[in-house]
Structure formats: structure tokens, C-alpha cells
Amino acid sequence: MVSYIDYKQAPLKYTGQIRLFDEEAFAGMRKVCNLAACCLDALADMIKPGVTTNEIDRFVLAFGAREGALPADLNYRGYTHTCCTSINHVVCHGIPDDKPLREGDIINVDVTFILGGWHGDSSRMYPVGTIKRAAERLLEVTHESLMRSIEVIKPGVRLGAVGAAIQRYAEGERCSVVRDFCGHGVGQLFHDTPNVLHYGEPDEGPELREGMIFTIEPMINLGKPGVKVLSDGWTAVTRDRSLSAQYEHTVGVTATGCEIFTLSPKNIFFIHSA
Ligand code: MF3
Ligand code: CO
Ligand code: CO
């Protein structure tokens, strides 16, 4: 059975308990999550045909450094870059390289900064120039599935309701939900309890309580849900090579609902194709 603990009473390591955070923690999360959101906003002007994902990676590193933030990805389990850049049929954990983006690509950039000891984790999709209608629809469905799942969050609801909302919407739109990766508790640790599944039943999982902080980051495919990890040990791709999309917010449970920490200051979390 899952148990809950006041974060100030818990050691700074994985314990399997769900941490409950206070206003001081929420203030720290607001700051770092806003920085991640500002960085993702700034990338919208940069992402065009011809730009390489290494250029995006260097931009993210410099953006954080200007504000005194470190990238959580760098050296995480041996990862050697600042962010993840997942193009087309890459589901997640795409590694930046020197290949230029091409007109019609869709790319997810996933950024996690650490500031004042707090982790801010968010990702979005960017259309590269003009994209096909099927790709545009996938981005709409993925974004909408995330936002619908956030709407169900309040104390007393079970975490399974979050995944159920994503699955019901995405599958209703003839898309599929990736099972192999999930959202996660986040705060002073990058990946903490609980696992946030993007599918399931509303009466499953731990009960949501005020003060919980976690990510929701559905990966939705146009084809089948199966994925495989390439021999680099990171890059996850769809087995059927169908397009995949992902959006990620970091949220906190409040007394009456939830606060989205990674909202876009420019209101460009979802970008329509050119
Ligand atoms: N930001 C990813 C997440 O949403 C994790 C990336 S870990 C890395 O949880 F090592 F691949 F960078
Ligand atoms: Co995450
Ligand atoms: Co992330």
C-alpha cells in the first residue's frame, strides 16, 4: 500500500512514499517550472527547417545557465545532453545531433531545469514549417488528452482517473497510448513516486491529496502503441514507425483542483502549424 509523507520529514532519496509539499515548495516549483516554460516559449522562434537538434540543445543549456539553472538531463543515468529532442516516429528520449530539421517534421523538446533544488519538467511539440494534416491532428489529440486529464485532478480523486481520461480521449480519436513510459512524482527529486500511467481505470491508483506534485506526459501514436528502444540505449521509437507526439506539464494538487506550474507565459504551449 502506498503511504504519504510530509516532504520535510523524508530523506532526499527515493523511498516509495508520496511526498506532500507545502506553499514554500510550491513557490520553488513555480519558479523553476516557469523557467522551463519560458525556455520552451523561446524555442518556438528558433525551430525551423535547417536548425539542428544540437543547436536546440546548446540553446537550452545557455538559457538555463543565464538564470543559474542546471539541466537535470545532463549526466542523468549517463545521458550526455541537456534536453531530449524526439522527431516524427521517435516517441521520447531522442538524443540531439547534427542533422538539420526538415519541413514537415514534428519535434518534441523535453526540458528539465533544476533551480534552488527544485525540478521543473515540461515538453511540447513544434511543427517544423508546414506539416501534414494527419500530423496536425495527432498534436491536437495529444495536447487535448493532456488538458482533459488535468481537469479531473482534485483531492480525493484517484490517480487512475488521470490516465483514464487520456486513454478514453486518445483512443476515441483512433490514436493509441504508449504504455512503456509514464509521468512521475517530481520536486527535489527528478523521478519520484508515484508513477503516473497514461491509461487505466478511474478507481485505480493512489488517492490524490493536496500538496502532491507530479508530471503528466502522455505519448500518443497515430498507429499501434508498441515501442522499442534503439541500440543507443535511449531513443524510443514506434515499432510500426507511425508518428508519435507528447506534451508534458508539471502540476500540483491544490485544495480545490490543481495548479499547472509549466503554463506557457506566451500562451503558445500548443502551436498551430504554419
Ligand atoms: N524529461 C524526461 C521526463 O519527462 C526525462 C528525460 S531523462 C534523460 O521524465 F536522461 F533522457 F534526459
Ligand atoms: Co517527466
Ligand atoms: Co520531461
pLDDT at position 1: 82
**Ligand minimally distant from the alpha carbon of residue 214:** 2
Q: Distance from the CA of 112 to the center of ligand 3, in angstroms?
A: 6
| Domain-located, residue 244 | yes
**Would you place residue 273 in the very low, low, confident or very high pLDDT band (cuts 50, 70, 90)?**
confident
Q: What is the mean pLDDT of residues 145-155?
A: 99
Atom of ligand 1 minimally distant from the CA of 111: 1
Judge whether 164 lies within some domain.
yes
Q: Does 3 reside within a domain? A: no
Beta-sheet strand order (sheet of 176-177) = 176-177, 219-221, 244-246
pLDDT of residue 208: 98
d(CA 106, CA 49): 11
pLDDT at 168: 98
In a domain, 9, yes or no: no
Q: Is 119 annotated as a binding residue?
A: no
Q: Please indicate whether residue 110, judged by its CB atom, sits closer than 6 Å to ligand 1.
A: yes
Parallel, antiparallel or unpaired: strands 18-20 and 4-6: parallel
How many folded domains does the chain comprise? 1
- What does the pLDDT look like over 39-55, one tens digit per residue? 999 999 999 999 999 99
The β-bridge relationship of strands 249-253 and 258-260 is: antiparallel
Task: For residues 32-43, give the mean pLDDT.
Answer: 99
**pLDDT single digits (tens) 129-138:** 999 999 999 9
Q: What is the pTM of this model?
A: 0.99
In ligand 1, which atom is closest to the CA atom of 81?
12
> Given a cut of 80, is residue 274 above it in pLDDT?
no
Instruction: Report how far residue 58's alpha carbon sits from residue 51's, in angstroms, rounded to the nearest whole number.
Output: 12
Query: 125 in a domain, yes or no?
Result: yes
130 within a domain of the structure (yes/no): yes
Amino acid at 204: E
User: What angle, rounded to 10 degrees, do the helices at 53-66 and 23-46 form?
Assistant: 140
pLDDT at 37: 99
In a domain, 103, yes or no: yes
Confidence of residue 25 (pLDDT cuts 50, 70, 90): very high
Tell me the pLDDT of the chain averaged across its residues: 98
Q: 205 lies in a domain?
A: yes
CA 92 to centroid of ligand 1, rounded, Å: 8
Compute CA 128 distance to the chain's CA centroid, rounded to the nearest angstrom: 20
Q: Ligand 1: does its nearest atom lie under 6 Å from the Cβ of 112?
A: yes
Domain interval for residue 97? 25-260
Expressed in angstroms and rounded, the spacing between residue 193 Cα and the centre of ligand 2 is 12
134: which residues sit within 8 A by CB, 6+ positions away?
222, 243
- List the CATH number of the domain containing 199: 3.90.230.10
Q: Which residues of 259-271 are buried (b: 16+ CB within 10 A; e: fewer)?
A: bbbbebeeebbbe
